[in-house]
A and B are shown apart, each in its own frame.
Chain A
Amino acid sequence: MSSVRTLPPLAGYALALGDDALILAQRLGQWVARAPQIEEDVALANIALDLLGQARTLLSYAGTVEGVGRDEDDLAYLRDDRDFRNVQLVEIPNGDFAVTMARQLVFSAYQYELYAALKGSADPTLAGLAGKAVKEVAYHRDHATQWVLRLGDGTDLSHARMQAGLDQVWPYIGELFESAGTTSQLPGVAVDPSALRPAWDSYVTEVLSEATCRTPEPRWRSRGGRDGLHTEHLGHLLAEMQHLHRSHPGATW
């Protein structure tokens, strides 16, 4: 099987965006039956389902562009962690509900700007997906925003935990806006991630300020997810996600 490093740039780009969505969908699915309210079970499962739909489109497209016959299932279930191109933000454990909401705010605000820009891509598949997904992500972002406001501007305890959640995810945001090699090779097709930062900053800063939370200033930052360097947590997540498919190759029902 060809290594991720030899992928055509367009396939690599679709794979990176698809892996972000796939891994976060898997993480959010872990909240089902454990969320603080039944409505949140339903909400997080719905958000995960939207992300999974986006991932399926992007992984299928990456396989088509690569052109060696890998489909969405091959890409999701038969790669090892070093071949995943997602940012580390989406693979870190869920933590408590505040950590998950902090990550949801950060990631959905990023994805909102990403898809809004990608709607104008010269690639019709990416543009078509983005035009659809941006409407779904608007709901994800609004959901996270409401929780950050409610917890941040709530009781002393909820405020402290919301702030702790933000502090925990902030070291991981840098990777979202890094220009990977593939994006510069795809002018007019890929979106330059660094160009999304100003709009993201202005949205998130306003939410944090209204939530009476401060913007964290982390002393370290994550690196390397887009190059296949991951935390120890991704391997465990993949073991659970891939186990059935690998134990019963080609099984259908």
Chain B
Amino acid sequence: MTAAPDRAALLAAARAVPDPELPVLTLGDLGVIRDLRVAGDGTVEVDLTPTYTGCPATAVIADDVQAALRRAGGYQIRVRVRTVLAPAWTTDWMSETGRRKLREYGIAPPGPAAHAGGPVTLAFSVRCPHCGSPDTREVSHFGSTPCKALWTCRSCAEPFDSFKAI
């Protein structure tokens, strides 16, 4: 007989799963694990919110969370991953650690999302993650994944990805 799974330990295990596209970040850093409950029959239910509705990494993330929870809670446990759309994910949920890790990885972290989502083009300068210069420009709103935009640095001339504030 095994003891009922421990919610806090399972939540920590789910949050420690690396993002498949940006492995420097954990799901906890991204803020996409919204809740975890252990139901009366022992089923572990996780609420996962996608970063973008069409993000292809969402299915992989759900599989990775299932596997991590079985590793942490025992292979007999039942896991159900629910996709939750509301409240909509925002980059404001990204942790400070996550922002620091992104910068070290060469991706500019997102600015505050309050000014995003409106008709105004992003006006705030993005600092180059390579040389730290604020003298940068956006090349395209859209980058290698839905969550990133393509930028270039005028000081060191390096191109870089910038995480879009959303």
Contact = CB atoms under 8 A, between A and B. Distances in A.
Given A138-B118, A141-B119, A142-B121, A50 B52 contact: yes
A50 B141 contact: no
A43 B85 contact: no
A46 interface: yes
B117 A134 contact: yes
Contacts of B143: 42, 46
Given A132-B88, A141-B119, A39 B140 contact: yes
A138 B146 CA distance: 13
B142 A51 contact: no
B164 to A, nearest CB: 7
A139 B140 CA distance: 11
A54 B144 contact: no
B139 interface: yes
Instruction: Determine the main DSSP class of A at the interface with B.
Output: helix
B86 A132 contact: yes
A45 B54 CA distance: 11
A135 B86 contact: no
Interface string A6-41: 000000000000000000000000000000000110
B87 interface: yes
Given A53-B52, A135-B166, A136-B53, A127 B141 contact: no
Contact of A43 (B52, B55, B89, B142): B142
A129 B118 contact: no
Contacts of A46: 142-143, 146
Contact of B86 (A50, A127, A143): A127
B139 A50 contact: no
Interface in A35-66: 39-40, 42-43, 45-47, 49-54, 56-57
B86 A56 contact: no
A98 B116 CA distance: 26
Contact of B53 (A39, A45, A57, A141): A57
Contact of A124 (B55, B86, B142): B86
A203 B119 CA distance: 10
B132 interface: no
A105 B133 CA distance: 34
A142 to B, nearest CB: 6
Interface string A127-168: 111011111101101110110000000000000000000000
Q: Which 10 A-B pairs have the closest CB atoms?
A: A53-B54, A53-B53, A128-B86, A128-B85, A43-B142, A46-B142, A132-B88, A39-B140, A49-B54, A131-B88
